[in-house]
Chain A
Amino acid sequence: MSGIKDLRKIFGGGTSNLRQFSILFSLIFIIVLFQILTNGLTLETGNLINLVSQYSYILILAIGMVMLIIAGHIDLSVGSVAAFSGIVVASAMKYWDLPWPLAIVLGLVVGALIGAWQGFWVAYVGVPAFIVTLAGMLIFRGGNQFIGNANTIPVPDGFTSIGGGYLPEVGPDTGYNNLTLLLGLIVAVAIVIREFRARRVREQLGAEQIPLWVTLVKLVILVAVVIAASFTFAGGRVGTSFPISGIILGVLIVFYSFLTRNTIFGRHIYAVGGNRPAAKLSGVNSRRVDFLLMVNMGVLASLAGMIFVSRSVASGPQDGLNWELDAIAAVFIGGAAIFGGIGTVTGSIIGGLIMAVLNNGLQLLGIGIDRVQIIKGLVLLFAVAIDVYNKSQGRPSLIGLLTRRRKLDEGITEPPAVAPTTGSPADLTPSESTRQQ
């Protein structure tokens, strides 16, 4: 849903940057490519449902991961933490007969505690997150196998809805899933409202207004996509519709996009990642930011783990293996910078979707896991390489980091057009107006 916002920007130009444009374009390209290669299988209802429920947990991890990466950290333990929470929750339901809604709460609390544990080391002791979470990766993987005796523990039916459930059938028999259609309608209306609200804000600020026809064309395209998608999801096999995990993901994307863009805490994340000493001298409690981000990552990892357990109806010792790599790849394909300060939730989601569609499409084509991995690796490498190349050419995106990284050879990368800004002779005049003060 938030991805739509960027789509909007692209049409409008202006504030959109090259990076976001290129990754969204890549996503569309990959979807179209696989749609052709698989003879239309990619966008079939069953496959789309699969895609959403199979990758929602990676995308949830990517949300927490991008925030950590913006702040200049990383989390290697998310897969292990997910597995650990999964086994704790599964065991609690099996051995203590804990009702499943309470088990979910338990899982989130476990995630928060793990996050607090890792956050303590990162924020208050000052151990680099890379090391803390490398340790966590071992500790919680081992913890999972210790608690579960390296066995698989099944989970009860009710619990399976968060990962394997769908919007229920209600209302008259329309041949479609009514709730999914309703959801689509709500999203479409929300998009229209947002767009017009944005126009109004621009008007208030006296900023350059996007022509009305551009807005309308944009809205027609977006609404058409949303409606087509909702009919596709609603029109599948009876009993299936839009997955619950997809709804959880959607809510999280909206929430975290807002958090990172529009709240004080969000600003503090970027401030800490962009220049930590400067942020401290501006009154940002950087330790608190670090700590809360780690706690948040723990909660999201735990949620992802539970969704996975729910979908696979059991918790096992190999759950969440290599998830951290997928999540980190999604974040970097999505335009985040390895040294912090740059990245968006939306970008990371698009990055994650690129990996997901790629994975799914290659599997539909019957390509083995060996070659799928090779291709994914190359895509990650090339995606970031193109980004780096663009930056070195002084393209409009992300100019800021040029000066940060390349002090020594700044002559080559320095954007020259900005040099002669101070001190044109007219401004030096100690004119009457300035002298009066």
Chain B
Amino acid sequence: MPAVPPILEMRSITKEFPGVKALSNVSITVQTGEIHAICGENGAGKSTLMKVLSGVYPYGTYEGEIIFQNEEVRFSGIRASENAGIAIIHQELALIPHLSITENIFLGNEPGKYGVIDWKEAQLRARELLARVGLSDDPDTLVKNIGVGKQQLVEIAKALNKSVKLLILDEPTAALNSSDSQHLLDLILGLKGKGISSIMISHKLNEIEQIADSITILRDGKTIETLSVKAEGVNEDRIIRGMVGRNLESRFPDRTPKIGEVFFEVKNWTVQHPQVAERMVVKDSSFFVRRGEIVGFAGLMGAGRTEFAMSIFGRSYGNFVSGQIIKDGEEIQVRSVNEAIDHGLAYVSEDRKSLGLNLLDTIKRSVVSAKLKKISAGPVVNETKEYEAAESYRKELRVKAPSVEQGMATLSGGNQQKVVLAKWMFTDPDLLILDEPTRGIDVGAKYEIYGIIQRLAASGKGVIVISSELPELLGISDRIYTIFEGAITNDISAAQADPETVMKSMTSAKKKVQHA
């Protein structure tokens, strides 16, 4: 028994939605002053549990009891839980881009009297709070003008303003690059030192391993176990075993690559920033892809990976300056997305929800949306062919939905991603560019997506995978290009690729590109 009582105990929480038991008898104990991680696959009930805790689902809509600081609490809403000292920071930031940092920090909680805001007081306190989270920006800066990493810190400053005792972070580093992530993790550790306990939900197991004191694993709405990181020498594999209920022998499916000739080349590609003419987002870069090859693009966030890919895909980004695209030995013109599709290029965007699909559509309509011509007679879409095409992809990619008439919005991230992949496979591409194909997807679905990528390569297509997760790139690529500040800095074959080499090339310019 610890001398200090736990800050939070949730006992036998059961939460039912019509037809589904999202949580069944879940219990969790968070010790005072610890960082407690909650792990589980998408749909395991992590978010639901946190919504119960933070009052999003108010008292009475769930069974069980919550003991916070030795008292039973019955929150009627988010306000109530905030007043008690529980703050939740959502995966999708709740900041208002056109307001300043100060205005955001005090939004809904403005200092002042009779509805008149005391801006001087707000400014002073904002500076103080920013200092605590290690931000040196002017508090008058508009939130839209600072990066995602800093926005995350502003969120935490906002929580600190409410004299928080327990901080809940839902996927706090999902959108951050590695240095911002590290900074955030350090901050959470620092807050721990100041007596603020945290609950952290994350798919990034290495981060959990790094900072968590204990880990509760949820699976299918039930508590599976609570591990103490120090005592039991918990590692990533151990966590995964808990999450999926057994060992995942390999995180990547086995594969013997069958690599053919070079069929796609980009030469001396240079692209201008859409607004700032002097700035070149892609600088004189060249690469090639062989048939059946999976090529990884590694680079830090902001290195220009996505911009590079989108500019190749029908000049969807920036202003084209110079460069050649050669396919099957002939130069091709790719001035629009339509031309790109006609030439057998496909681009799966990193931002599924805002660039990848129309959430209002059904699976059926999404699958065929990038090449309607294929199932149409003249201007008229043949609905029978549409249904058949969608149905065959649903089965092939194992999209979990009762029928292809299902709305996209009702699918989980992994299944949405499969539909987006189906949409581009439907266009019969020769080269697929997959930008962060497994972002926000749980371990099991990732494995399936890797399998799909490998099958595509095995069928003789070229695949480019852009990813921020180095282990992922190392795991599936035959060859890795590194990009640093808009230029390709290295070309590393799978045999030579190790995290250090790749990371070094990602973070420094290199004079000469050596082709593997």
Contact = CB atoms under 8 A, between A and B. Distances in A.
Interface string A420-436: 11111101101000110
Interface in A246-281: 262-267, 270-271, 274-275, 277-281
Contact of B246 (A411, A424, A425): A425
A262 B458 contact: no
Given A262-B381, A422-B412, A341 B360 contact: yes
A220 B383 CA distance: 27
Contacts of B213: none
A419 B409 CA distance: 11
Interface stretch (B230-238, B447-455, B466-474): B447-455
B308 to A, nearest CB: 15
A204 interface: yes
Interface stretch (A147-155, A236-244, A312-320, A397-405): A397-405
Interface in B20-68: 20, 22, 41-44, 47-48, 51, 56-57
Interface in B335-392: 336-338, 340-341, 347, 349, 354-361, 365, 369-373, 376, 379-381, 383-384, 387-388
A367 interface: no
B500 interface: no
Interface string B155-181: 000000000000000000000000000
Contacts of B296: none
B464 to A, nearest CB: 16
Contacts of B92: 407-408
A3 interface: no
Given A417-B18, A421-B43, A422-B414, A278 B379 contact: no
Contacts of A403: 359, 409
Contacts of A15: 405
A425 B245 contact: yes
B332 interface: no
B5 interface: no
B253 interface: yes
Given A437-B255, A437-B458, A419 B43 contact: yes
B110 interface: no
A399 B42 contact: no
B405 A400 contact: no
A418 interface: yes
Interface string A282-298: 11010000000000000
B248 interface: yes
A412 B412 contact: no
Contacts of A412: 56
B358 A283 contact: no
A428 B415 contact: no
A417 B17 CA distance: 7
Contacts of B349: 278, 281
12 contacts: A267-B372, A275-B360, A403-B409, A411-B57, A416-B22, A418-B412, A422-B441, A422-B444, A423-B42, A428-B248, A435-B254, A437-B255
Given A403-B359, A422-B415, A434-B253, 9 more contacts: A207-B387, A281-B337, A341-B360, A402-B409, A418-B410, A422-B43, A427-B400, A434-B448, A435-B254
Interface of B: 17-20, 22, 41-44, 47-48, 51, 56-57, 90, 92, 94, 219-221, 244-246, 248-250, 253-255, 313-314, 316, 336-338, 340-341, 347, 349, 354-361, 365, 369-373, 376, 379-381, 383-384, 387-388, 398, 400-401, 405, 407-415, 423, 441-445, 447-448, 451, 454-455, 458
